[in-house]
Structure 1
C-alpha cells in the first residue's frame, strides 16, 4: 500500500534514528511505544549515537512542515506530553531554524510572487536577522518610508512540493487506517486529510492570509477584547503588516510581573473564541501560543510596570489579545452553528436526552440506534466534566472516549466539525496554562444561551425574511414551469398515474387562476414584514397579523 512512498518513509526513519528520538520517549509511561523505539534503534544512523539535547525539535524541523504543525499542536498539551519534551516543542512555535536572509530578500523583490521592488525602495530600514521563524514562513522587522514600524512575513522557499508529497503519504495512511479502524471512518479521516491539505496549501498564499486578517480586524474594530494588526501590503509569498507590542500567551511569568489578572485574561480569551465561532462564524483555527499574543504597556511605561511597586493595572493598561497568523480560519454552516451551540448547551444543562435528540435530528446516527444506550454512554463520559475546572478535565481523554462511543453506536461526525475540535484542543491547552482554575462552563453558558435566543428571535427572523422577500417572489414565478416538468415526467410512467395526473393538473389550474390573488397576498405579507421590522411598539401587533395572513392563505 505504501510502497510508492517508501523513500519518504525511509527518510523519516533515518531522521528519527539520527537524532535518537527513542531516547526521549518515556517508555515507562507509554509501553506501547517500545516497539517504535526498537525500530528506531535498528537503523544504522542510530548506531554509536547517544542521547542528544533538543533532538525532538531538530528531528521535527528536518521532517518538514506537517511534523512541525503536529509539534505545535502538542506544545499546548502539558497534560499529555512530559515537561522535557514540551520545552522542545514550545520552540517550534516561533524558533524554527531560519533560512538565509538573502533568500528572503530575493523573495520580497520577486516580480511575480513578491512585491516587485527593491528592499531599499520599499523600506527605510530592513533588518536581516529574522525576528521569528515558524513552520511556513519567517518574519523580519522593518520600517516603511514614512517611519511606521512593520513586520515582513516571507514564505519558506520550495515548501509547496514537500507539503504535497507528505499529504499524499498521509492520505494513503488515512486510507489504510480507515479500512481497518471503524472510529477512523466515523470521523471521516480521509475527508479530514483532504480538507487539511487544502487548508495547508491555502496557508502558503499570503494574499489569502491578508484577506483573512483584514476581515478579522474589521470584526474586532474598537473591541476591548482583541486587536488585529493592519495589513499594509501583500503578495503570494510576502505580507507587510503593522508591528505590534506584546508577548506570547505562554509567558505567564511576564503577566504576573505586569500585574495582569490571569483569571480575567483567561475569561477574555474564551469569550473571544465563542464570539468568533458564533457571532462572526469566522474563527482562528491555529491558536498555538506562537500565534496568540497579549498586549503589553507602551515601552516608556513597561519598565515601571515590571517593577514590584507598580502594576500594569495601576498604569491604566487593560490588556487585549492580539490576533496573528490568520492563515487557517474556520467557518460553519448556520445549521452546524446551531447544532454545536445546542449540543454544548445541552451538556452544560446536564440534559443528555436532549443531546442525543439533537444528534439524531442532525442525522449523525442511524435510525435504529439505541438512543437510551447512547444517552447513558454520553452521560457517563461527559457528565463528570461539568463539575470540574479546566485543570481537572482531561479533554483529550474525553474526546477519545467520545470517538469510541461514536464507533460503537455508528455515529458519523461531519468533517467540517473536526477543524473546530482541533481549535478546541488549542484553546483548552492555552487556558490550562494561563489559568488552570477557569470555570469554562459558567462563562460559556450565558454566551451560548444569548446567541441561541438571538437566532430564534421572531423580529430578527422577520427582518431576514424582509431582505429575502424579493428573491422569494421572483422564484415563485418558476412554480408553473416546475409543475409542467413534473407532469411530463409523470406522464412517461404510464397510465398508473392517471388519477395523480388529474389531481396535479387541477392543482395547477387552481394555482394559475389564483395567481393574481397569491401575488397580492405575498405583497401584503411583505408590507406586514416591512412595517413590523420598522415600527417599534406596534411590531407585535403587525407580527400577529402577518402570521394570521399566512394561516388564512394556507386554509383558504
Structure 2
C-alpha cells in the first residue's frame, strides 16, 4: 500500500467496521482478530447485504459504482446481497451553483451567458459523479446540462489504486481470487469508471444508439450538442416525458401500456441481438415515455457489447433454454471456452439438468427469462465457470428490463417473446451465404494445418524421443475430445479432396477452352458430370459443418 493512500485506506476500513463488517475484513486478512469488535456470524445474507450497502454508500462515488456493478454479477454475488446492492443510490448533496458555474465556464472557455440564455441554479438531478441542470440555448432549444462534480477524479484514482493493491493481495492469499481473476475484474471496473468520467464517450454512445433507430420513429434518443460539451460537461436535448414506471400518470394521459411494453422490449432486443451494442442500465429512471407512446432512453454512461460470436451463441442459448436441451447448453458452454479443466463435467451437466427440470411442468408464459439467466449463472459459479462480463451485463439488463415490462404489461412474457429474435439470429448464422463464407475459411484453415503438419509431427516425435511427452486427460471429457478429433480429421480429409477436385475441374475447363475440344468422353459430358459431383460434395460439406455446430 502506497504511503499517500494510507489515510484513505483507513477511512475504508473504518467505514466497514462502523457497519458491523469486521468479520468480513478478518476473513480477507485486512484486520487482526483484536480489531474485530462486531461479529456478523449471526447475520443472514440480507442483513449482510444491508450493512455492505450502507458502507459502500458512505464511502462515496467509486464504491457506489463498484456496488452497482457487483449487483449485476449474479454469478459471483449471492442473490440477497446483489438485491441489496441494487438499492445503492447515486443521490448525493448538490454541488453549490457557484462551483458548477465555474466548471462550465472553464470547460466551455467563456461566461455562462455567452452559451445559455437560461441556466437553472437548482439541479434537476444529482448523482455521485455529476448533476444535471435545465438550461436553454440562445437558439431557443431547452437542454439538460450534465456537469461533473469538482475534484472527483483524484479521489477516484486513489480509490482505484487501493482496490488494485487489494486485488493483488487477495490473489496471492486466496485461491478463489485467482480462480475468478479478481485482479482482471478490478482492472475492467477501473476502465469502466474512467469511461464514465469522460462525458464525450457517453455522448458518442448516445449517438451510436440513436443511429440504430434513425428509421424507427417509435424510439427517440436525445440529441447531443457538441458545441457545448466537453469531457466534464455534456449538453443534450431536455426530454419531457413520463417515467416508464409511473403507471398512474401513463393511465391518466391515456397511454397504451401494452404497446409501450412491446416497444421497449423490441427496441432493447434490437440493440442486443441485431446491433450488439445496448443500453447497459435500462431501469425505469432511464426510460421516458413521450406522446404517441414513443419510448426515449436516457443516460448512456453504461453500455453493453456483444461481438458477432457472442450474438451467435446467445441465440442457441435461448433456444436450448426454451427447449430444455441440457446437452446443447453444456456444448455451448464448451464452444464459448469457459469450461475449465477443473470443471466436473458430469456434476455440471447434472446441475444444469436439474435447473431445466425445475421448470419442466411450468408453462413458458410463467417463466422469467431473467431469473433463469441468474440461476444459470449461479450454477456456473458453483462449478468454477467464469461467465464472460458481456453476458453477465446482458443478464442483468434482461432482468431489469423484465421488471419494467412486467409492470407495464404482465401478459408479455420475455421467454416466449424472445424466440422469434433467436430464430432470426439462427437463420443469420446458418443462411447459405454465411455458411459458404465460414466453410471457405475453414477449408483455408485446414490447408494451413496440413502445411504445418509435417513440422509439428517431427516436433512431437522429438519430444517423445527425449521422454518429455506427458498427457493429462480428464476421462469424463475423453469421449467428447475423441469425437471432436474424429470430426476434425474427417472434415479435413474431405475438404482436401474437395479442394483437389475443384483444382482438377478448373484445369479441365481451362484446357478444353484452350484447345477448343469437346469435353465429352464415351458420349458423356465429363466436365459437367464432375461439376455435379463437386456440387453435391460441397453441399454435403456445408451440411455436416452446420450440423456439427448445432450439437
Could you tell me how far 1:127 is from its partner in structure 2?
A: 1.6
* 2:97 alignment partner in structure 1: 101
Mapped partners of 1:370, 1:239: distance in 2: 50
Give the TM-score normalised by the residue count of structure 2. 0.67
Number of matched residues?
A: 452
How is 1:473-488 mapped onto 2 (pairs within 5 angstroms)?
none
Query: Do structure 1's residue 444 and structure 2's residue 418 form an aligned pair?
Result: yes
Mapped partners of 2:173, 2:329: distance in 1: 29
Q: For 2:432, which of 449, 458, 470 is the aligned residue? A: 458
Return closer, same or farther for 1:214/1:250 CA change in 2, 3 Å cut-off: same
Mapped partners of 2:395, 2:242: distance in 1: 26
Tell me the secondary structure at the aligned position of residue 239 of structure 1.
strand
Contact 1:186–1:413 at 8 Å: present in 2 too? no
Query: Do structure 1's residue 281 and structure 2's residue 294 form an aligned pair?
Result: no
* 1:8 alignment partner in structure 2: 8
Q: For 1:156, which of 149, 153, 175 is the aligned residue? A: 149
In the TM superposition, what whole-angstrom CA distance separates every residue of 1:78-124 from its partner, at most 9, and x where no partner exists? x95899x89x948x35x4322122222222222xxx22232211122
Return closer, same or farther for 1:192/1:438 CA change in 2, 3 Å cut-off: farther
Return closer, same or farther for 1:421/1:262 CA change in 2, 3 Å cut-off: same
Could you tell me how far 1:422 is from its partner in structure 2?
A: 3.7
Contact 1:191–1:415 at 8 Å: present in 2 too? no
Contact 2:136–2:142 at 8 Å: present in 1 too? yes
Contact 1:277–1:283 at 8 Å: present in 2 too? yes
Return closer, same or farther for 1:546/1:269 CA change in 2, 3 Å cut-off: farther
Mapped partners of 2:165, 2:366: distance in 1: 37
Query: Do structure 1's residue 332 and structure 2's residue 306 form an aligned pair?
Result: yes
Mapped partners of 1:188, 1:75: distance in 2: 18
* 1:220 alignment partner in structure 2: 213
Unaligned runs of 5+ in 1: 41-54, 298-316, 498-513, 525-543
How is 1:525-536 mapped onto 2 (pairs within 5 angstroms)?
none
Tell me the secondary structure at the aligned position of residue 353 of structure 1.
helix
* 1:300 alignment partner in structure 2: none
**Which range is displaced more, 206-215 or 453-462?**
453-462
Contact 1:74–1:89 at 8 Å: present in 2 too? no
Could you tell me how far 1:235 is from its partner in structure 2?
A: 1.3
* 2:535 alignment partner in structure 1: 548
Return closer, same or farther for 1:328/1:74 CA change in 2, 3 Å cut-off: closer
Return closer, same or farther for 1:546/1:393 CA change in 2, 3 Å cut-off: same
* 2:224 alignment partner in structure 1: 231
Return closer, same or farther for 1:253/1:170 CA change in 2, 3 Å cut-off: farther
Query: Do structure 1's residue 295 and structure 2's residue 289 form an aligned pair?
Result: yes
Mapped partners of 1:2, 1:378: distance in 2: 45
Tell me the secondary structure at the aligned position of residue 118 of structure 2.
strand
Could you tell me how far 1:217 is from its partner in structure 2?
A: 0.5
Mapped partners of 2:173, 2:400: distance in 1: 29
* 1:533 alignment partner in structure 2: none
Tell me the secondary structure at the aligned position of residue 231 of structure 1.
coil
**Which range is displaced more, 374-383 or 271-280?**
374-383
Contact 2:368–2:415 at 8 Å: present in 1 too? no
Tell me the secondary structure at the aligned position of residue 117 of structure 1.
coil
Mapped partners of 2:82, 2:348: distance in 1: 34
CA RMSD, Structure 1 to Structure 2 (Å) = 5.0
Q: For 1:118, which of 111, 120, 143 is the aligned residue? A: 111
Q: For 2:130, which of 122, 125, 137 is the aligned residue? A: 137
**Which range is displaced more, 2-11 or 446-455?**
2-11
Unaligned runs of 5+ in 2: 23-39, 464-499, 511-530, 542-551
Q: For 2:260, which of 265, 268, 276 is the aligned residue? A: 265
